[in-house]
């Protein structure tokens, strides 16, 4: 499967965090996974397939680039669906 990093342009990271509802006015976001909390169920990769792919064990490998608006919407859905609250935006 193609790396999600190859699917969008790069923009500077402005820092901060968004756990699904905060900082909606910011225009750059990146997705992060807490590997301690994640159980590798893979729901996030189904809801945000352009941003998150899973490895051979089913654990998510999120894009390491800034996300566009469409991708941020998809990631917000994945954050809401994550049963372990292991996914967040920065
Ligand atoms: S939905 Fe949550 S628990 Fe499941 S693989 Fe994604 S980050 Fe991990």
- The pLDDT tens digits for 1-55 are 555 554 444 443 444 454 555 555 667 899 999 999 999 989 999 999 999 999 9
Mutate to test the pocket of ligand 1, among 74, 83, 84, 89 (most ligand atoms within 8 A of CB): 84
Cβ of residue 51 lying under 6 Å from some atom of ligand 1: no
Beta carbon of 54 within 6 Å of any ligand 1 atom: no
The pLDDT value given to residue 41: 87
Q: What is the pTM of this model?
A: 0.73
Is residue 9 in a domain? no
Could you tell me if residue 29 is inside a domain? yes
Closest by alpha carbon to 64, among 8, 2, 20, 1? 8
Number of structural domains found in the chain:
1
**Residue 73: inside a domain, yes or no?**
yes
Query: Is 49 close to ligand 1, i.e. is its CB under 6 Å away?
Result: no
* Domain assignment present for 54: yes
Nearest CA residue ID for atom 3, ligand 1? 38
């Amino acid at each position: 499967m193609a790396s999600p990093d190859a699917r969008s342009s790069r923009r500077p990271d402005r820092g901060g965090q968004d756990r699904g509802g905060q900082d909606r006015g910011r225009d750059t976001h990146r997705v992060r996974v807490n590997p301690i909390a994640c159980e590798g169920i893979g729901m996030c990769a189904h809801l945000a397939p352009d941003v998150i792919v899973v490895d051979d064990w089913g654990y998510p490998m999120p894009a390491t680039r800034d996300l566009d608006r469409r991708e941020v919407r998809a990631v917000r859905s994945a954050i809401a669906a994550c049963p372990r609250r292991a996914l967040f935006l920065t």
